[in-house]
């Protein structure tokens, strides 16, 4: 196990290094400077600003400075918000984005699994058709379009829910629904198909023959195996949810990392772009690692073998 963990951490480090390098290349492939948009800034002031942020150095020097910032997790001050460091912005915005993402993934997993189970148990019935129709709609409609429709319906027309900001549990309802609907639909369809397959297995037939209750058969015997494909895609869904918050945070005016990241791209705030990209990449890579560990815990048939070389 220790050898496996060390191997995975090595792969994670290499992956993060590639992401860091590609981010630097793409960021500097755009012509111009972050200070070109500043009107009324004379050449001397612009030169001083570029020197302060090391933008006057050759690209290879900037690259090594960038790697040092990544290694020490100290990205310095923001270019467009010089009174705040990138670490301050991460500490201010990430908890909000994480709260939105975690609430959404919890709702998506629970509702998706329940919907898939109900559809499988009522296979080819009206409930199955309704559940799969909801799933298809959830997959088909992009979350930003769903978000605007939710705002129009519940905030503008019905006036029963707030449309923006993040100051109370009521403000969480619309963005959470918009973000969780897509993953919920994917989980529901996957749970339904795997549950239908598991329910035809011999050990399920044996459990029925022993007179076990349907609830015990489903939740104690069938669900664990049916959840394996769901756990497999959970890392990808989690990545999609956490990055999907960027767009929805703009729509709902949520003060999360999406706000700072989008603004930093528009203004070419290099430290914020680098800091956000590295932080989210490291977080998502680590979450994928945890998903692999959970996958092994759920399925006792998965073992780590080491061949002895003589």
At 177, is the pLDDT very low, low, confident or very high (cuts 50, 70, 90)? very high
Helices (H), 122-142: 126-140
Task: Kindly report, residue by residue over 93-120, the tens digit of the pLDDT.
Answer: 888 888 888 899 899 999 999 998 888 8
Whether the CB-CB separation of 147 and 71 falls below 8 Å is answered with no
Question: Torsion-angle region of residue 268: left (phi > 0), alpha (psi -120 to 50) or beta?
Answer: left
Mean pLDDT of 169-188: 90
Task: Kindly report, residue by residue over 252-291, the tens digit of the pLDDT.
Answer: 988 888 878 888 887 788 888 888 888 888 888 887 787 7
% residues pLDDT > 70 (the chain): 90
At 298, is the pLDDT very low, low, confident or very high (cuts 50, 70, 90)? low
Beta-carbon contacts of 136 under 8 Å, excluding residues fewer than 6 positions away, are 185
Q: Cβ of 280: how many Cβ atoms within 10 Å?
A: 20
Beta-carbon contacts of 258 under 8 Å, excluding residues fewer than 6 positions away, are 93, 97, 245, 246, 247, 248, 249, 250
pLDDT of residue 200: 82
90-94, 157-161, 203-207: the lowest-pLDDT one: 203-207
At residue 228, does pLDDT exceed 80?
no
């Amino acid at each position: 196990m220790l050898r496996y963990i060390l191997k995975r951490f090595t792969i994670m480090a290499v992956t993060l290094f590639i992401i860091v390098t590609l981010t630097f290349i793409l960021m500097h492939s755009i012509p111009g400077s972050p200070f070109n948009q500043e009107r009324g800034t004379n050449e001397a002031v612009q030169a001083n600003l570029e020197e302060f942020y090391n933008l006057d150095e050759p690209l290879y020097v900037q690259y090594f400075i960038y790697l040092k910032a990544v290694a020490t997790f100290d990205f310095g001050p923001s270019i467009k918000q010089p009174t705040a460091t990138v670490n301050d912005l991460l500490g201010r915005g990430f908890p909000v984005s994480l709260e939105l993402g975690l609430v959404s993934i919890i709702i998506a997993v629970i509702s998706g699994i329940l919907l898939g189970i109900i559809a499988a148990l009522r296979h080819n019935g009206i409930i199955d058709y309704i559940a799969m129709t909801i799933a298809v709609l959830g997959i088909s409609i992009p979350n930003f379009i769903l978000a605007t429709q939710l705002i129009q319906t519940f905030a503008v027309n019905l006036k029963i829910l707030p449309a923006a900001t993040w100051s109370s549990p009521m403000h969480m309802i619309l963005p959470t629904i918009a973000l969780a609907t897509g993953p919920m639909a994917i989980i529901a369809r996957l749970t339904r198909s795997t549950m239908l397959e598991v329910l035809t297995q011999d050990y399920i037939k044996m459990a029925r023959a022993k007179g076990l209750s349907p609830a015990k058969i489903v939740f104690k015997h069938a669900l664990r195996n049916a959840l394996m494909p769901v756990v497999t895609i959970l890392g990808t869904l989690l990545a999609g949810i956490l990055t999907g918050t960027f767009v929805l945070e703009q729509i709902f005016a949520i003060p999360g990392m999406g706000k700072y990241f989008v603004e930093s791209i528009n203004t070419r705030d290099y430290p914020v772009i680098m800091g956000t990209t590295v932080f989210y990449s490291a977080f998502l890579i680590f979450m994928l690692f945890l998903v692999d560990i959970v996958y092994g815990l759920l399925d006792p048939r998965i073992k780590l073998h080491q061949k002895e070389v003589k």
